[in-house]
Chains A and B, each alone.
Chain A
Amino acid sequence: MADDFSPHVAVDLAELRDVATWLSREVQALAGDRDHLQPMVHFGHHSPCGETHLARRAAMSALDEYGARWDKHQQELAALAATLDKALDHYADSDNLRKLDLDQ
């Protein structure tokens, strides 16, 4: 009867480990490309043109916003990678404990 309340769990540890490794690599890759989103504008610095001035402000704000979102993605990805690593460690530990039980 206890099985009715126990959820079905199936885990391919090797495949999930690959995913966790990929997530960690992506966190590093995102960090490497973050510099492109520095809020700096390289046009219209000397222009009295209203449209160009507005474009400068829009570009600055957009870069600022994309940079913040980039950081958020990176943090979320790092959190997912850490969570997956932790889950994999738990599954591996649990498996080892079961193995010990069986050995005794």
Chain B
Amino acid sequence: MTWQTVWEAYDVPRIWDAVHLEDDPLGWEQVYGLRRAAEMLTGHSEGLRAKREVVARAWQGPAAALMLSRLDGLITSVTRDAASLTVATHGLHGIMTALAAARKKVQPLALRWDEVTSDWIPEFWDEVAAELNDEARTAMLVAAAEVRDHAGRLAAPEILRETATAAPPPLPGYSPTTSDGPRLAGMPRSVPAMPGHPVSMLPTPPGNPYAPAGGAYLLPGPGVGPHGFILPMAAATPPSVRHSVWRVPKGVPPVILPVADSPTQPTPETMAGFHHWFSGLATPWRSSAPRV
């Protein structure tokens, strides 16, 4: 029993967080180790069969009959387990492949997400973000369908063990599942559209003409409203950690120049400060999760 995930409750950064640790080398090592184990078990069952014939030929008597009977029972169970472990290994390989493919599809979308406000004029930000979200959500739907198919080959026994997960939270105001059934362990919970819960947003790094000091473009949706807006970094940064650098031309009366005429190259320190600020604002859950 499980739930149906509503991927509209997740934007590109959240989906990237959900898949960025997939394609884990340890996972592939496990797949190849299981394949070796399944091959070993298959060879073992064939060896048992051959030795059973040797015993039948070399030993006749009441005790031999008992030994052959026990060997037959062992051969039956080992052969059955070798076959099902082989199938399960293929299933695990399929799951790993599906999730690795999703990661590969989402990674460039996550990179493009961070460039939207630099590569496009504001009129297109919502549209481009929506397109990126659609692509990422489609990738997850495809992966989920493949995972479901392959999981059926794992020959899961009746008792399922709980496994801990650290999934990103859904977007505020969206239900992340369609299940009307009981609350299941590990099932994502809805996040209310209230202050303190990060909404979907695009980074506008320092130097961006629409937020020269850096900021975040909050995409339209629950908690934001029908229109997005820019939250400048200075407005949201506590005074104690504000690092603004103003370049003033010497010998020229102070004037306010058009933004496009005064491009500034942010320093590495400024960019590092921006990334720190933005990640704390947009993806605070990442600070408590392992990253790669």
Contact = CB atoms under 8 A, between A and B. Distances in A.
Contacts of B283: none
A45 B290 CA distance: 11
B17 interface: yes
Contacts of A61: 156-157, 159-161
A97 interface: no
A46 B151 contact: no
Contact of B37 (A33, A47, A51, A76): A33
B74 A76 contact: yes
Given A11-B61, A29-B40, A47 B165 contact: yes
A23 B70 CA distance: 13
A26 B95 CA distance: 31
A52 B144 contact: yes
B2 A62 contact: no
B57 interface: yes
Contacts of A12: 57-59
Contacts of B49: none
Interface string B186-224: 111000000000000000000000000000000000000
Of the listed residues A41, A46, A73, the one surrounded by the most CB atoms of chain B closer than 10 A to its CB is A46
Given A49-B144, A53-B2, A43 B61 contact: no
| A29, A35, A42, A47, most chain B CB atoms within 10 A | A47
Interface residues of A, number: 55
B179 interface: yes
A29 B170 CA distance: 47
Contacts of A96: none
B240 interface: no
B156 A62 contact: yes
Q: Chain A interface mostly helix, strand, loop or mixed? A: helix
Given A16-B55, A19-B51, A48-B168, A33 B40 contact: yes
Interface stretch (B3-11, B118-126, B241-249): B3-11
Contact of A57 (B34, B37, B77, B162): B162
Interface in B140-174: 140, 143-145, 147-148, 150-151, 154-157, 159-168, 170
Interface of B: 1-5, 10, 17-22, 24, 26-27, 30, 33-34, 36-37, 40-41, 44, 47-48, 51, 54-55, 57-63, 67, 70-71, 74, 77-78, 81, 85, 88, 92, 95-96, 99, 140, 143-145, 147-148, 150-151, 154-157, 159-168, 170, 176-177, 179, 186-188, 289
Q: Which 3 A-B pairs have the closest CB atoms?
A: A42-B27, A36-B33, A58-B156
Interface of A: 7-12, 15-16, 18-19, 22-23, 26, 29-30, 33, 35-37, 39-62, 64-66, 69-70, 73, 76-77, 80, 83-84, 87
